[in-house]
Structure 1
């Protein structure tokens, strides 16, 4: 279990890659972002993307799943007060393999609730070509190690 004290400013975390399928792009879009370039290959060819691509929200969701499976789920996470910055830099296409890297940029104990603290992390997701597809800065609340 990782606690607040286990997150050190400057610490870099690399996570296992995740490949995105056409089927999951369409399924997500059907439920949450039903725009033609996320749903229909022929319509997507006529879009500025030139082909079917994932919703930015889908890409952010994939990032969250990677974080929960590989870090948050094994930590004393208490939720998040929010995201400060989220950017979709390039589209994600079927077959892209996404690589996520995070860096702790701040770690502090709460002034009002000393049993917890807040970690600020900067994330960058790249595709298999090394192109950045998503960046995000977010805060996470974590319990302090029990004494």
Structure 2
């Protein structure tokens, strides 16, 4: 992908990821290290619990979405700085074998008033499963450099 800067972007622009599948092994491995709750690491306890089976940690889903963002490099090699995440919602459990698709949309672009070489882009991210059901959503802001022409 070509490097893209703040001035190359438009509000309403969106992109959709290639689907990726969450496996039982990765759910258990992630949770064992970072979120060792029974519904993430113990199949028997998960089946007896309120979710009726093993589910991925929400933080696991977030980390996979981040990995997908980095791997697909929507902005090329342009350096980005994550600033915040707002309105993070884990709407539906992600289960072993679920195939997730990520859609991002630019909802705001704001050049900096105090630092003319950069600005902020705000995106809305939705994650759906193979049935099109919403699993997770959030908004975030990233700082991006402006292109050289815009800085003159």
Q: Do the two structures share a fold, i.e. TM-score over 0.5? A: yes
Give the aligned partner of residue 83 of structure 1: 85
Give the aligned partner of residue 105 of structure 1: 107
Give the aligned partner of residue 48 of structure 1: 50
RMSD over equivalenced CA pairs, Å: 1.2
User: Across the two proteins, how many residue pairs are aligned to each other?
Assistant: 147
Using the alignment, how far apart are the partners of 1:89 and 1:34 within structure 2? Answer: 20
Q: Report 1:1-147 matches (<5 A).
A: 1-71=3-73, 74-147=76-149
Please tell me whether the aligned partners of residues 5 and 75 of structure 2 are also in contact (alpha carbons under 8 angstroms): no
Segments of 5+ residues of structure 1 without an aligned counterpart are none
Please state how far the C-alpha of 1:77 moved relative to its aligned partner.
3.0
Please state how far the C-alpha of 1:76 moved relative to its aligned partner.
1.7
**Closer/same/farther in 2, CA of residues 73 and 30 from structure 1, 3 Å limit:** farther
Please tell me whether the aligned partners of residues 4 and 75 of structure 2 are also in contact (alpha carbons under 8 angstroms): no
1:1-23 C-alpha deviation (Å, 9 max, x unpaired): 11111221001111111101111
Length-normalised TM-score, structure 1: 0.95
Please tell me whether the aligned partners of residues 77 and 140 of structure 1 are also in contact (alpha carbons under 8 angstroms): no
Using the alignment, how far apart are the partners of 1:136 and 1:75 within structure 2? Answer: 24
Using the alignment, how far apart are the partners of 1:119 and 1:48 within structure 2? Answer: 38
